[in-house]
């Protein structure tokens, strides 16, 4: 079991070299900003879709980042999912309150 977990960690870490990780981070931040702008212009459904998709990509990137720094890979993905869920809830309420929904 330990060898399998190590294999998963190595595969996950090799999926995002530093330059690719930086590009994904920029795309995720840009998608969240675009989603917030669309939310302010009344396109709430599209904004929520874009933000949720960006945060789902962010879960994978955060999980790999946590795993690179020595956290157990399963715990890393649970922590990443919890962080992205919290951000998603906050952004959802922000967009809904800015549109008086």
**Any idea what DSSP says for residue 16?**
S
When pLDDT is averaged across residues 77-89 and rounded to a whole number, the result is 89
- Do the beta carbons of residue 8 and residue 69 sit within 8 Å? no
What is the model's pLDDT at position 79?
92
What is the model's pLDDT at position 82?
93
Token pair 């981070």 is found at 25
Confidence check: pLDDT of 1 > 70: no
Q: Is the pTM of this model over 0.85?
A: no
Residue 8: phi and psi, rounded to 5, are -60, -40
What is the model's pLDDT at position 78?
92
What does the pLDDT look like over 28-63, one tens digit per residue? 889 988 988 888 888 888 888 888 888 888 888 888
* C-alpha distances out from residue 57 to 23, 34, 53, 70, Å: 12, 15, 6, 21
Tokens describing residue 76:
């890393």
């Amino acid at each position: 079991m330990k060898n399998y977990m190590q294999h998963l960690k190595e595969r996950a870490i090799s999926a995002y070299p530093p330059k690719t990780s930086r590009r994904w981070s920029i795309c995720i931040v840009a998608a969240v900003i675009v989603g917030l702008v669309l939310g302010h212009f009344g396109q709430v459904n599209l904004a929520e879709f874009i933000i949720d998709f960006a945060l789902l990509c962010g879960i994978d990137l955060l999980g790999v980042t946590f795993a690179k720094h020595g956290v157990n890979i399963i715990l890393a993905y649970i922590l990443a999912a919890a962080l992205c869920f919290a951000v998603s809830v906050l952004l959802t309420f922000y967009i809904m309150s800015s549109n008086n929904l």
